[in-house]
Structure formats: structure tokens, C-alpha cells
């Protein structure tokens, strides 16, 4: 009778065989796994917004400061053949400044679909942060956004990129560049 390998060597071999059997069983149907998703990115210069009242750039002139915190996405087979549907939303945190008077106007942001360096689609959305009495902080969950991506044998959804950022004025962009995120 051949000698059995020590248990310390047998366990990894058994685990590898079991994993191979499981993976083989999973790969028998093409549609069992979610399709690849496009890469997601926050544009560093546009991931924050700082709005002042126009009388200065001191903390006493601050109306609102916002930071994008997450862009979760899921992908699934699209409703039409040859498409992948990417569903995402944008989360952001806002701080109301001392110069905020009453309700704040909506804070616009954009979602851009890019492939090969070319912008294929760009759409604007807006956050409407609301603050309770004596509360100067609000976390906002943006609306769900669905993007249908044409795919095929030569192009997967991973060949696209989705970029997100606040829609900034030239002064706000200059402020962000002078005060980068830590």
C-alpha cells in the first residue's frame, strides 16, 4: 500500500481539486456571472466643491463645501442584445458654511462615459442637500443612473470609463487646484 502524503500536504491538494470542481461547475453557463463593468473614476480636480458668497474666500464667506465620497456601480446584461447596463449613483457629503442664507441652490455634477479618450456621453445631475435646524452637515445619496453600453466580442464594458465630478466654475476649479484633497 502506498504511503499517504502528510495531512499538511494533502489538504491544499484537496482544496485545489474542490475549487477546480466548483469553478468548472460555475463556468458551464455564460450568463451566470455579472459582465465586466467600466472603470469608475472621480476627477481629482472636480471631486470637491467650495462655494463662497462672492465677498471673499474667508471661512466666514463659505456658503457650502461638498465632497464626493463614493460612486458604487453594478453591471448586468442589458435589456437589448449586445449591451451591458451599468447602474450607478454618486454619494457626497456637504457642510453648510456661515454665509449660507436659507436653502441652498442645487449643486450640479456630471457623469461622463468615455472610451479611448473620447467623451461618448455626458449628463448633468444635481444634489439638493438639505440641513435640519442647527445641523451643518448632510450626506446625500444621488439618484440612480443607468447607462447602456454597446458590447461585443471585440469590445467589453471594461473598455469604457465613467468619470464623475462637480460642475465647477473657473474660480471653483482654481480653488480646488490650489487646495488639493489630502
Q: Which residue has the cell 457623469?
A: 111
Identify any residues that bridge with 49 across adjacent strands, giving them in sequence order: 66
For residue 13, pLDDT over 90 is answered with no
* Straight-line distance from the first to the last Cα atom of the chain, in angstroms, rounded to the nearest whole number: 66
pLDDT at 63: 95
Question: With bands split at pLDDT 50, 70 and 90, how would you rate the model's confidence at 33?
Answer: low
Where in the chain are the domains? 31-178
pLDDT, greater one: 20 or 164: 164
Regarding pTM above 0.85, the answer is no
| 31-178 CATH pick, 2.60.40.1730, 2.60.40.150, 1.10.3720.10, 2.30.110.10 | 2.60.40.150
The phi, psi pair for 23, rounded to 5°, reads: -65, -40
| Cα 73 from Cα 7, distance rounded (Å) | 43
Identify any residues that bridge with 84 across adjacent strands, giving them in sequence order: 77, 149
pLDDT at 78: 87
Q: Element (H or E) spanning 39, and its range?
A: strand 39-42
* Inter-residue contact 103 to 174 (CB < 8 Å): no
Amino acid at each position: 500500500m502506498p504511503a499517504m502524503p502528510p495531512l499538511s500536504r494533502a489538504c491544499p491538494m484537496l482544496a485545489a481539486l474542490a475549487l477546480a470542481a466548483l469553478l468548472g461547475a460555475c463556468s458551464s453557463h455564460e450568463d451566470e456571472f455579472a459582465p465586466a463593468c467600466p472603470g469608475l473614476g472621480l476627477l481629482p480636480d472636480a471631486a470637491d466643491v467650495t462655494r463662497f458668497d462672492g465677498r471673499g474666500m474667508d471661512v466666514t464667506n463659505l456658503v457650502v463645501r461638498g465632497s464626493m465620497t463614493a460612486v458604487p456601480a453594478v453591471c448586468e446584461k442589458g435589456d437589448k442584445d449586445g449591451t451591458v447596463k451599468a447602474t450607478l449613483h454618486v454619494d457626497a457629503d456637504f457642510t453648510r458654511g456661515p454665509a449660507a442664507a436659507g436653502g441652498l441652490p442645487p449643486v450640479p455634477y456630471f457623469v461622463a462615459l468615455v472610451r479611448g479618450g473620447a467623451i461618448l456621453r455626458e449628463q448633468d445631475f444635481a444634489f439638493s442637500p438639505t440641513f435640519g435646524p442647527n445641523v451643518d452637515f448632510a450626506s446625500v445619496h444621488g439618484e440612480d443612473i443607468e447607462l447602456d453600453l454597446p458590447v461585443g466580442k471585440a469590445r467589453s464594458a471594461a473598455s469604457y470609463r465613467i468619470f464623475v465630478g462637480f460642475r465647477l466654475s473657473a474660480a471653483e476649479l482654481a480653488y480646488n487646484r490650489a487646495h488639493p484633497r489630502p
